[in-house]
Amino acid sequence: MMRWLNFSLKSALLAGLLLFFTPPAFAHEVNFSLGAFYLGSTLKSTNKTGSSFSLGSYQLEYRKDLLSRFEVGLGYSVDSMNFVSSYVCYGFDLAVYYFPFTITRKASPSGDRNIISIESMEAFKPYLGISFNQRQLSNSSINFIGYGGIIGFKYALFNPIELNAAIRYVSVNGVDRAINIISGVAGISFNF
């Protein structure tokens, strides 16, 4: 198990480095979101379960366009009881997002006497995503590794600022317990 865990963390780190150091041929985006989360935990040896709901889910993510309908993101998530407390669940996220369609705003012509350009803005962009997640609890030294699913949307407020909202489901496993996290977050994205 530990050998697989070390390989997975190395793979996530390598993917993150490739994401950050590839040539800037595509658009970049930084996203900060906050919201609420539900955390469910199951102790594997006794099947004992526990859960909690709280405000205090924070996510910071760097995204990069991969193809016309895909984005890749590398982020860091913190889920804290009662906004800020000593009990915290935190870790890295590596995600791929798929945008099945976009709705654009009305095009507006602009330009010089002889040159006319038409600019339109992608106003509403719903997306689906899958993620590879690493988590750690503040009261434990055990790493948790797993996968997740994301459904959300982006709404262009004005260039380069977008509203980003998502519901994320993350399921991670450790040596002695499994953790499921459902978070609903909303935030601001800055495109550059």
pTM, two decimals, is 0.78
Instruction: List the domain range (segments joined by +) for residue 37.
Output: 33-105+120-191
Cα–Cα distance between 129 and 150 in angstroms, integer? 5
What is the model's pLDDT at position 181?
Answer: 94
Exposure pattern of 55-90 as b/e (b: 16+ CB <10 Å)? ebbbbbbbbbbbeeeebbbbbebbbbbeeeeeebbe
Contact status, residue 59 vs residue 80, Cβ threshold 8 Å: no
Residue listed under structure tokens 């989360």: 37
pLDDT above 60: residue 25:
no
9 lies in some domain: no
113 lies in some domain: no
Mean pLDDT of 97-102: 91
Mean pLDDT of 39-60: 88
What is the model's pLDDT at position 3?
Answer: 46
13 lies in some domain: no
Domain count across the chain: 1
Rounded to the nearest integer, the mean pLDDT of the chain is 82
What is the model's pLDDT at position 121?
Answer: 64
What is the model's pLDDT at position 16?
Answer: 56
At 126, list the tokens: 């719903």
Residue-wise pLDDT tens digits, 155-188: 988 878 999 999 999 999 998 889 999 999 999 9
Torsion over CA: 96, 99, 105, 110 (sign): positive
78 lies in some domain: yes
What is the model's pLDDT at position 138?
Answer: 85
pLDDT above 80: residue 23:
no
Max Cα distance, the chain (Å): 76
Comparing CA positions, the residue from 37, 166, 144 lying closest to residue 91 is 144
110 lies in some domain: no
11 lies in some domain: no
114 lies in some domain: no
Q: What's the CATH number where 39 sits?
A: 2.40.160.20
Max mean pLDDT range (99-103, 104-108, 183-187): 183-187
26 lies in some domain: no
pLDDT above 90: residue 137:
no
What is the model's pLDDT at position 99?
Answer: 94
Q: If pLDDT is split at 50, 70 and 90, which confidence band does 123 have?
A: confident
By DSSP bridging, strand 143-158 and strand 108-111 are: unpaired
